[in-house]
Amino acid sequence: MTVDEELNRLEDNIRRLKIEYESYFNGGTPRPPQDTLYRVEQTVKKFSSDASQLNFAQRFRLNQLVQKYAVHSELWRRKLRDKEEGRETVPRRRPPEASIRVVCANPDLEKEKVSQLLSALLEAKRRVGESTDRLDPAAFYRFVREKTAQLKQTLGCQKVQFTVSVDDGRVKFTAVKAE
């Protein structure tokens, strides 16, 4: 077998090893892929110990493959450790919680909407455990008034939609052009 054929086989084995590890971590196979891992490591050792048999292009390709294997190997090592220690390997993402939307054209005339927005923001912050001590109602009112004026001018709209939501454990407060 030529050196180029062996490098092709090494690349295929690294790809196969990646697939087999993904299958193992997702519960598809009961044991990690030791056979493929052994073949990859033996090929890497063979060429790393005697690089004189390789031309420049082959050495470059081998270095790329070894780096790719090293990156994946570190990732697999961490995932194996986490699995052995009983930690989740894939963090579960919480679905976004319900959001409050308020459309505002003139905050000076729609104080009840600004109050509703402030209440929703305070409740969302409490739900995720954030402090609400520094949230000044007067400063919030000024912010909504200024943001409404700014967006109406820059976007050329008549109304602005404010949204308070909790996504992945974080409070999000957004303002966009209202349809």
pLDDT tens column, 36-94: 999 999 999 998 888 788 899 999 999 999 999 999 999 999 988 988 888 764 555 55
pTM higher than 0.85 for the full model? no
Find tokens 């000076």 and name the residue. 108
pLDDT digits (tens, 9 = 90+) for 116-146: 999 999 998 888 888 888 889 999 999 999 9
Nearest to 163 by CA among 111, 108, 96, 99: 99
Q: Check residue 42 and give its pLDDT.
A: 95
Judge residue 1's burial from the number of C-beta atoms within 10 Å of its C-beta, 0-12 exposed, 13-18 middle, 19 or more buried: exposed
What is the chain's length?
A: 179
E strand spans, the chain: 100-104, 160-167, 170-177
Q: In which element (H, E) is residue 122 found?
A: helix 111-128
Q: Check residue 11 and give its pLDDT.
A: 95
pLDDT band for position 96 (50/70/90)? low
Residue 95 has pLDDT above 70, yes or no: no
Q: Check residue 92 and give its pLDDT.
A: 54
